[in-house]
Amino acid sequence: MNMLSIDQIRIKAGSWLGEEFNDETRKEVREMLDNDEKKLIDAFYQDLEFGTGGLRGIMGSGTNRMNIYTLGMATQGLSNYIVKQCENSGISVAIAYDCRNNSRYFAETTANIFSANGFYVYLFESLRPTPELSFAIRYYKCQSGVVITASHNPPEYNGYKAYWNDGGQVVAPHDEGIINEVRKISSVNEIRFDGKKEKIKILGKETDDLFLKEVHKMSLNPEIIDKFSDIGIVYTPIHGAGITMVPPALKMYGFKNIISVPEQDKIDGNFPTVKSPNPEEPDALKMAIKKAVETGAELVMATDPDADRLGIAVKDRKDEFILLNGNQTGVLLVWYILSQFKERKKYRGNEYIIKTIVTSDLIERIAEGYNVEYFNVLTGFKFFAELIRKNERSKKYIGGGEESYGFLPGDYVRDKDAVASCALVAEATAWSKSKGMSLFELLLDIYVQFGFYKEKLINIVRKGKEGADEIKAMMTGYRNNPPEKINNSRVIKINDYEKQISYDILKGSKTIIDLTKSDVLQFFLEDGSKISVRPSGTEPKIKFYFSVNSTLKSVDKFEETEIVLDNRINDIIKDMRLV
């Protein structure tokens, strides 16, 4: 990337003082030009890039910020691409948004631009979960859709995710096609802001009910919920969109003792009660766990701002709440779905599940145990959607997830669905109770039957151009000079997803990896450990995923076996000099 000089940045910023920009924007840019050079540089040193997932950035004025102009250029480019694909005949799109500051404003702006381009627009009346947007695209047979969200990023961020007609985020060839059209928009004067109200239909309760009806179809044991409907469930939306759909879904399933965290039920894009609105972070569930202890609840669940990710806490064998990670939640849900399909004789023989390449391989062992086909895809639920679409005439997707707290039961939605996942976790809790055990004890039984897999993720943050160069150098080093041993265990296989080659070190052979190119490396060790390395696609960090495993002879051996596995992970991290 060529770095602009301060004079070039000032010229670029000066172009935002024209009449085509609103008063608020011109005022903010003038303030930066006159009084805040650092803020000016950050806002204009580059253009906010429309990537394969859309836009995400800090809100404010400038080419490197989320605002109605950068969003507008993205929407106009997307509109131009849709017209080229659909010949501007009866085109419709759906739009949803979450709780973030400016989300409603950005959604309305997006709706205006789509309608000005002649599209029929379905706009949700208020914030809704991302999975409901995916459902709406499919139900209303839209050509495309957009959700305004920055997922679990800090409060100053917002984002824009683009979807295609299957309800999944855009994949090849549409992703590159859209990016090319967005790049062709060289001026805000090309954006059609003059919306046509008669082309915008507001979605509300009718769509909610249709969505919840599909969520309810995922239930596998309604009669068990009837017997255990009073299970105490604490749920928090962490100020986000989950408040609209998760409690109604739980009630529809039959649960009666749903306990809220009132302070976090309040819709607020500043997320005042948490450091980060991310259910992967322990702090985000602190208030909910406190409420569970006070009320004697058995289960704690939290969703992120757009309600596509789910975090849960359960009671351990000491009757204390512990957080489960995304792998553990995925393992429980896959096991529950597969075991109940078998028990209720629902199998037709063409079912399959999906996981990502960095998600626990225990899910594969469970699938093998139930003789169900499984697929590995790259990180991101757009690849789930792509595979489901490819297989939908011959095979039936019934569940799958990723380690980063996303899960999708059923195929009526084509993105992570924390609404249905919350309902199924609650149902699995009731099922476990019907068998005289807790959800945590069920997880231990799964470990005994299929193997104890332990995972850990380390993020190494490297900001700015120097950081990006350092991350690139790390990947080049691992790729060109791979380790022969890690923690005194031989590397016996390397998967290079950029070269799309799997190297069997012991046999000296190569096989093709039939997945899209991606900058990911995996090292498989002789002792069964697996290390995956990939740069983040949305943040300035490189991610290291560690997976180790062992047999678990009995539930009573859990604690000591866990210590052994934790020590092995820590030894691998030390050997790779990551601490």
Residue-wise pLDDT tens digits, 193-233? 999 999 999 999 999 999 999 999 999 999 999 999 999 99
Note whether 492 and 528 are within 8 A (CB): no
Nearest-angstrom CA–CA distance, 212 and 423: 11
Kindly report the length of the chain: 579
What's the per-residue H, E or C state across 161-194? EEEECCCCECCCCHHHHHHHHHHHCCCHHHCCCC
Question: Catalytic site residue 438?
Answer: no
Phi, psi of 267, rounded to the nearest 5 degrees: -70, 120
Please state which of the ranges 52-56, 248-252, 336-340 shows the lowest mean pLDDT.
52-56
pLDDT at 546 over 90: yes
DSSP state of 395: -
Cross-sheet strand order for the sheet of 299-303: 258-260, 233-236, 299-303, 310-315, 321-324
Nearest-angstrom CA–CA distance, 552 and 446: 10
**To which residue do tokens 């299957």 refer?**
166
**To which residue do tokens 């059923």 refer?**
410
What is the DSSP pairing of strand 299-303 with strand 233-236?
Answer: parallel
N-term to C-term CA, the chain = 30
Which CA distances in Å does 409 have to 131, 292, 417?
11, 26, 8
pLDDT of residue 538: 66
pLDDT of residue 4: 87
Average pLDDT estimate for 349-369: 97
Note whether 528 and 487 are within 8 A (CB): no
Task: Using pLDDT thresholds of 50, 70 and 90, give the confidence band for residue 463.
Answer: confident
pLDDT at 465 over 80: no
Nearest-angstrom CA–CA distance, 233 and 335: 21
Nearest-angstrom CA–CA distance, 119 and 201: 11
C-alpha dihedral sign at 43, 47, 51, 54: positive
Note whether 160 and 56 are within 8 A (CB): yes
Note whether 239 and 305 are within 8 A (CB): yes
- Per residue in 4-60, pLDDT tens? 899 999 999 999 999 999 999 999 999 999 999 999 999 999 999 888 778 999 999
Burial class (CB in 10 A: 0-12, 13-18, 19+), 488: exposed
Ordered alpha helix ranges (H), 50-126: 68-86, 103-116
pLDDT of residue 225: 97
Task: Using pLDDT thresholds of 50, 70 and 90, give the confidence band for residue 3.
Answer: confident
C-alpha dihedral sign at 96, 102, 108, 110: negative
Query: Which tokens belong to 132?
Result: 């409901």
Nearest-angstrom CA–CA distance, 300 and 311: 8
Burial class (CB in 10 A: 0-12, 13-18, 19+), 394: exposed
Q: What is the pTM of this model?
A: 0.95
pLDDT at 500 over 60: yes
Nearest-angstrom CA–CA distance, 97 and 149: 6
Average pLDDT estimate for 164-183: 95
DSSP state of 352: E
Average pLDDT estimate for 159-169: 97
pLDDT of residue 536: 83
DSSP state of 47: P
Note whether 503 and 510 are within 8 A (CB): yes
pLDDT of residue 1: 46
Quick one: which of 285, 266, 265 has its CA closest to 274? 285
Nearest-angstrom CA–CA distance, 118 and 92: 9
Please state which of the ranges 278-282, 469-473, 477-481 shows the lowest mean pLDDT.
469-473
Cross-strand pairs, 535: 542
Residue 366's Cα: distance from chain center in Å?
Answer: 23
Query: Which tokens belong to 248?
Result: 């109604």
Query: Which tokens belong to 465?
Result: 């151009």
Query: Which tokens belong to 153?
Result: 């990023």
Burial class (CB in 10 A: 0-12, 13-18, 19+), 436: exposed
Mean of per-residue pLDDT scores for the chain = 96
Domains of the chain: 47-203 (3.40.120.10), 210-450 (3.40.120.10), 453-575 (3.30.310)
What is the DSSP pairing of strand 351-356 with strand 396-402?
Answer: parallel
Burial class (CB in 10 A: 0-12, 13-18, 19+), 482: middle
Average pLDDT estimate for 447-462: 96
Nearest-angstrom CA–CA distance, 53 and 176: 10
Cis amide bond preceding 173, omega within 30? yes
Of residues 92, 103, 115, 151, which has the active-site annotation?
Answer: 151
Contacts of 342 (CB under 8 A, 6+ apart): 370
Task: Using pLDDT thresholds of 50, 70 and 90, give the confidence band for residue 88.
Answer: low
Nearest-angstrom CA–CA distance, 402 and 107: 28
Q: Which amino acid is at 482?
A: P
Burial class (CB in 10 A: 0-12, 13-18, 19+), 257: middle
Nearest-angstrom CA–CA distance, 111 and 137: 14
Ordered alpha helix ranges (H), 254-361: 262-265, 286-295, 326-343
Average pLDDT estimate for 164-168: 97
**Total Cβ atoms within 10 A of residue 194:** 9
Angle between helices 326-343 and 418-434 (to 10 degrees): 60
Cross-strand pairs, 401: 355, 407
Burial class (CB in 10 A: 0-12, 13-18, 19+), 563: exposed
